[in-house]
Structure 1
Amino acid sequence: MIRIFQNWMERYLASEEAVLLLIILGLGLLVVVTMGGILAPMIASLIIAFLLQGVVQRLANWGVPHIVAVNIAFLLLVGLLLAGIFILFPLIWHQTATLFSEVPGMLADWQKIMLALPEKYPQFISEEQVAQIVAALGSKLGGFGQSVLSFSLAKAPVLIAVLVYLILVPILVFFFLKDAGEIRFWMSSFLPRKRPVMSRIWHEMNIQVANYVRGKVIEILIVGSVSFVCFQFLGLNYALLLALGVGLSVLVPYIGAAVITLPVAMIGFLQWGWSSEFYYLMIAYGIIQALDGNVLVPLLFSEAVNLHPVAIILAVLVFGGIWGFWGVFFAIPLATLIKAVLNAWPVANAELQSQEEVSEAS
């Protein structure tokens, strides 16, 4: 047993760099767990800077000076934020308010449907069971309505924080883009000069995580836009709100698609019932999901690390439990980073040991 542990130590922790890397990873995990909510704006700024770094690099390749390219990317970000605040957000707010105002009518419709089930399928469900389900649903909706009201009255500091983040995040993104080289040089000054393990992990992370983040944003835009056009063409109520949910659902693979299917089907059924329009909706929605999983994802993430579905679900559960919403949001990049570490560490460490043996022999 001791020999096995010694072999493991010699393989993974044979150098000072490996021990330092282990300490850095441990401290990083501790910071995320204890201060994740506080550092969320900075982490979000890093993700956005990753996205815009491609724009800056493309402009630099065309001969545009670095500071000019950074300003162009920053203005693009500000323009998208303003378009979202003044164009997209009012439409989403209007549809959300309309949906809440029509919830009692939807509940009444569902009660009629549920009360008709014992007559059609008495062998599967009774009137008492239907009454219990309707009562439970009514209490849940009532509690949800009270939560929404209490949020609107008592959570004003949260709204103020959102406004602060809308100012803070663009500023951080600008400086991350402008001084990216200086920041990397300053951080590397605290590290050993010879760091093959860290260099390999940084190379893997820079390629895989950046490709994942950029590809995921493109996937959200494509899936959300196609869903909106499809829902709007079919005349589905709350088309923009549902399309936004479908687009954001790709952040959580497998689980997100399963969760967003329920509101799409419920809204469609309450609007059309068992009609041809409802079947057209579900067929179109199924085609969108199939094309996303079988065409769009392989096309966008061909250069990214391929994670097994079990690893993806496990990452969502673990990081979501540790870090809440942000853990779910960043689950796949964090899992990708862990895989990059596991892939690079033993290889680079073995190369370092072989180099040391060659130098000692000579």
Structure 2
Amino acid sequence: MRKKRLGDLLRENGLLDELQLRAALGIHNKWGVPLGQVVVDMGFCTAHQVLDVLASQAQLPTVDLDAELLDPRLVDVLPVQVAEAHRIIPLRLEGPRDSVLVVATAAPAHLPSLDEVAHVTGKARVVALLATDAAISQALERLYYPHLLGARRPVEPIPLPEADEHLPLVTDRAEYLMMVQGGVLASTVEQGGLPVMTPLTEELPAHARLTEPELPRVEVAPRPAQTSRPEEEPAPEVWVYGWGVKATRGLLKLLEDEGLRTRVARTEDVRNATECAVVLAPLQSVESVKRRGLRARLLLAGRVRDEERARTLGARAFLSGPLRSDLLIDAVREQVNAGRTALRQVG
């Protein structure tokens, strides 16, 4: 017996009327976008309504992946390459000697994909639950790439129009202004009804100083004379750049426990790092920085499919999720030692 088409099922369940179905089919036939995605994008149905209809037709239960606690141990059962290729999330092991693997897959479930999962994992049976495609994407990130959660892409600079190129800009202090502790950037004064930032010191270029007589003058205390030159802090061997807050703290502790000199990097630090320093960063965090050229030894992390892109950026080594601490340390030490060797050769 031939299965009913999704459009007919949605209409029979009162989720679409004839006019809405025709409109959705028009986009589906013209652009090849799956009908279920079209009706969701057009606001005719929710993703969960479409999922329920498909699950009813396939006679398979559904799962709310967003509320599901994912077991990180299962990444060793189902490799990330297979999970991404077939968009399948391992949920749990059941049965005698854990012979049954329960997974979540996007609707409709594809039997060849389930067969491939059974073959790769060596399980006697694979039980499928249906989930929305968006939930599958988010679950892949949570389970296989937890180290990338919270990592943010640096903001690209916005070039000035040609007509405004003559305006003076102070760019060498912007990062310092953003990083003042306590969230207090500087005092402001009113000028023509607008707040104006007073300079932090008198080291600003003359053209950028506020010289109006009514503005308060910032007094700079003279620096005390140094009787002896303080010892300079040794340069870090590893710069940690572009990770989320939790990941940064974990990486710092891990690397410092291994005796590596490590520091959190600003964009300026990454650009100025020598060829002997190692920059440990997610791939997406260095893409825009790389355009201006980097000398540091890049150790990048990302998804399996991103390795070729990382190599194109000049990565000396690439790590794919989930990050294992032993492999991470080995990769970092290899690059640090290579940097030391390069330094001795230059010396």
- Does the TM-score normalized on the shorter chain lie above 0.5? no
Return the TM-score normalized by structure 1.
0.20
Greater relative contact order structure (CA < 8 Å, 6+ sep): 1
TM-score by length of 2: 0.20
Structure with higher helix content: 1
State the structure with more CA Rg: 2
* Higher-strand-fraction structure: 2
